[in-house]
């Protein structure tokens, strides 16, 4: 389950070109979208948002406070300035706890593969994250890739092999064949890790 994150959002009256003044003062313009209401223009302190953004990975429900109203949201999109990398605008999406949402969830290799234990191969993780559909109240922090069946070079684990938590499904059927982990020779893996100068 995702950890609880909190963020205070203030209603924003400054619009369009004048939002540059906000950014200069360390305040980020943002909008909150959701079903049944018009988008809400808000703003948030950059120092408040950055640690939440870093911890959320885009798949954590954030308990936002907007003008005294509690509202669970996800970070839907963050727009960056191309040359400086600074944040220009944030889109939050209001969600209901029972609602199914589509989120990108990190993948992690779970345990040690027999092929590594016997020294006959090394694992190469080919896919770091995938999009999943799941209840908003049950978004996983990550999903483990079971590598216990990898015993020889050339074997792979695909997205269809994942053991998903209850209520969690792949967002796109086309990704079922995505390769998540490949067993490579020890020599090849070593060359990748320590390339020649």
* pLDDT category of residue 58 using cuts at 50, 70 and 90: confident
Give 63's strand partners: 6, 72
In the three-class reduction of DSSP (H, G, I as helix; E, B as strand; rest coil), residue 27 is classed as strand
Phi, psi of 120 (to 5 degrees): -95, -5
Place of tokens 């067993």: 183
CB 125 within 8 A of CB 143: no
Phi, psi of 33 (to 5 degrees): -110, 155
Q: Choose among 37, 16, 163: nearest CA to 29.
A: 16
Element (H, E) at 176: none
Q: Write down all domains in the chain, each with its CATH number in brackets.
A: 5-95 (2.40.240.10), 101-193 (2.170.120.20)
pLDDT of amino acid 196: 45
Distance of CA 55 to the CA centre of its chain: 9
Element (H, E) at 85: none
Phi, psi of 143 (to 5 degrees): -125, 130
CB atoms within 10 A of CB 21: 10
CB 153 within 8 A of CB 188: no
pLDDT of amino acid 197: 41
pLDDT tens figures, 156-183: 999 999 999 999 999 999 999 999 999 9
Torsion angle (degrees, nearest 10) of CA 110, 112, 113, 118: 180
* pLDDT category of residue 4 using cuts at 50, 70 and 90: confident
> What's the mean per-residue pLDDT of the chain?
89
In the three-class reduction of DSSP (H, G, I as helix; E, B as strand; rest coil), residue 32 is classed as strand
Q: Which residues contact 159 (CB under 8 A, 6 or more apart)?
A: 127, 130, 170, 175, 176, 177, 178, 180
Strands 5-11 and 62-66: parallel
């Amino acid at each position: 389950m995702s950890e609880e994150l909190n963020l205070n959002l203030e209603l924003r009256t400054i619009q369009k070109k004048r939002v540059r003044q906000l950014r200069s003062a360390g305040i980020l313009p943002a909008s909150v979208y959701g079903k049944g209401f018009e988008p809400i223009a808000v703003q948030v302190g950059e120092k408040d948002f950055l640690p939440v953004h870093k911890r959320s990975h885009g798949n954590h429900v954030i308990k936002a406070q907007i003008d005294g109203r509690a509202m669970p949201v996800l970070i839907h999109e963050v727009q960056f300035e191309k040359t400086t990398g600074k944040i220009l605008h944030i889109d939050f999406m209001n969600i209901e706890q029972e609602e199914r949402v589509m989120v990108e969830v990190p993948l992690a290799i779970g345990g040690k593969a027999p092929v590594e234990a016997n020294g006959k191969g090394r694992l190469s993780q080919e896919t770091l994250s995938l999009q999943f559909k799941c209840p908003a109240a049950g978004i996983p922090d990550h999903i483990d890739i079971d590598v216990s069946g990898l015993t020889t070079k050339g074997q792979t684990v695909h997205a269809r092999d994942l053991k998903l938590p209850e209520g969690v499904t792949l967002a796109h059927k086309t990704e079922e064949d995505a390769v998540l982990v490949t067993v490579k020779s020890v020599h090849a893996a070593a060359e990748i890790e320590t390339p020649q100068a």
